[in-house]
Amino acid sequence: MPVFEYTALNQKGKNVSGVIDADSIQAVRQKLRTSQIFPVTIQEVIEIAAEKESGRFSFKAPFKRIGLAEISMMTRQLATLIGAGFPLVSAIDALIPQTKSHSFKKLLTQIKDSIVEGNSFAGAISQYPGTFSPLYVSMIHAGETSGTLEIVLDRLADITEKQRALFVRIRSALAYPVLMAFVGSVVLVLLLTFIVPSITAVFADMKKVLPAPTLILIAFSSFLKSYGWIILVTVIAGFFILRNVKKTAAGRRFFDKMVLLFPVVALLVKKLAVARFARTLGSLLENGVSMLPALEIVKNIVGNVLIAEAIDFAAKEVGKGQALNTSLSASDMFPDLSIQMIQVGEQSGELEAMLKKIADVYENEVETTIIALTSLLEPIMILIMGVVVGLIVLSICLPIFEMNQLVL
């Protein structure tokens, strides 16, 4: 059923807007007037899935992206409504007016229409892979199959909230160093392109032999002033080229391999991947998904091709009858502690609970490590900025000191 976006006036004369599904514009007008809402403009919405398939680029696309917080809130509210006895379609219909994001309203309306047409909830949301992950779709499918959809939705809300909380903590820890680096770079560029040339022009008029540091500073400043725009364009073009290369299978593998060559970064990537692996696998197993399909889902969300290949190899070994801990230990992608904890979980029959503990341990370690690194990064950046500014000041002052000596 088509989806329409409207602006209208209510009985009090106030502007209202929203999304509604109907067979035609006339049907939309009739629905709105029945609700004592008088339409001003009505426009049919192009389905999100159709936009993605067409491959059209839109400058508005990044701003329409549905965030993890919105998905988490919707999942929690949907679990509450279904637990209170609402049918699925009625529960989704009740959530649509409460959703602030127009993009999410459109998406929920399309999902509701798909369910009304006879699709399952999992089948409906699987049409939007950019919004709902394979983990989300698989757990919804398991909940529908087992008749425990509200329980699964609660667990999904827990997972998305923990993922978002970890992301927010990491982003908060990195915000100050990134801001310092940006501001410092801008200040240095302005200093070298505008301030330094006006000062060093005085030395050029004196036609004296300048010290080597001053000559280097003048040359670098002139180069930056003349070719700075070329450097900027090259950096921006390089960014887009690398992003497109990374989207290819070979490019993604190359970048993921390079990341694992740096010791500290590799350790963080592995710990974060293990945390995702453990939390997701534990949730899938708890909700009735068997081990092999669960491993197939989990390998797609760890965020690194090489680690995904290690999980894929482990899944094949598990299919042959090997224990999970033995299969994972064949590669060096999983820390020894995680292997030992999985082994204890398998032997005790409490694998799901142990996987959750593994996720908690490594999420905490990642957060602690990032906070520690950023606390070291701040004084290092201040030191680098001080050294650079000091060299600039020294290069400017050296000719002045030489002129003073000549006068004396």
> Using one digit for the tens of pLDDT, what is the confidence trace for 257-309?
888 888 888 888 888 889 888 888 888 788 777 888 888 878 877 778 888 89
- Do 193 and 221 meet the contact criterion of CB atoms below 8 Å apart? yes
Rounded distance between C-alpha atoms, residue 374 and residue 173, angstroms: 7
Reported as a single tens digit per residue, the pLDDT across 98-110 is 777 778 888 888 8
Give 287's Cβ-side CA count (13 Å radius): 29
Supply 58's token pair.
């839109």
The values of phi and psi at residue 297, to 5°, are: -75, -45
- What are phi and psi for residue 272, nearest 5 degrees? -65, -40
Supply the Cα-derived Rg of the chain in whole angstroms: 29
CA distances from 343 to 212, 282, 317, 320, 332 (A): 65, 14, 15, 17, 16
Residues written for the chain: 408
Q: Residues 198-223: what's their mean pLDDT?
A: 77
Kindly tell me if the per-residue pLDDT of 354 is higher than 90: yes
Q: Say how far residue 174 (Cα) sits from the centre of its chain.
A: 14
Q: Tens digits of per-residue pLDDT, 42-74?
A: 776 654 444 443 344 343 333 356 777 888 888
* Average pLDDT over all residues of the chain: 80
* Most confident by average pLDDT, 69-73, 239-243, 399-403: 239-243
Lowest mean pLDDT among 136-145, 203-212, 311-320, 383-392: 203-212
* Average pLDDT estimate for 110-130: 87
Q: pLDDT for 307-327, tens place per residue?
A: 889 999 999 999 998 999 999
CA distances from 290 to 76, 157, 398 (A): 25, 21, 74
- Residue the block writes with tokens 């509210």: 77
3-state secondary structure of 59: coil
Task: Tell whether the model's pLDDT for residue 29 goes beyond 80.
Answer: no
Do the Cβ atoms of 347 and 369 come closer than 8 Å?
Answer: no
**What are the tokens at 344?**
């204890």
pLDDT of residue 340: 92
The average pLDDT across 183-199 equals 81
pLDDT band with cut points at 50, 70 and 90 for residue 406: low
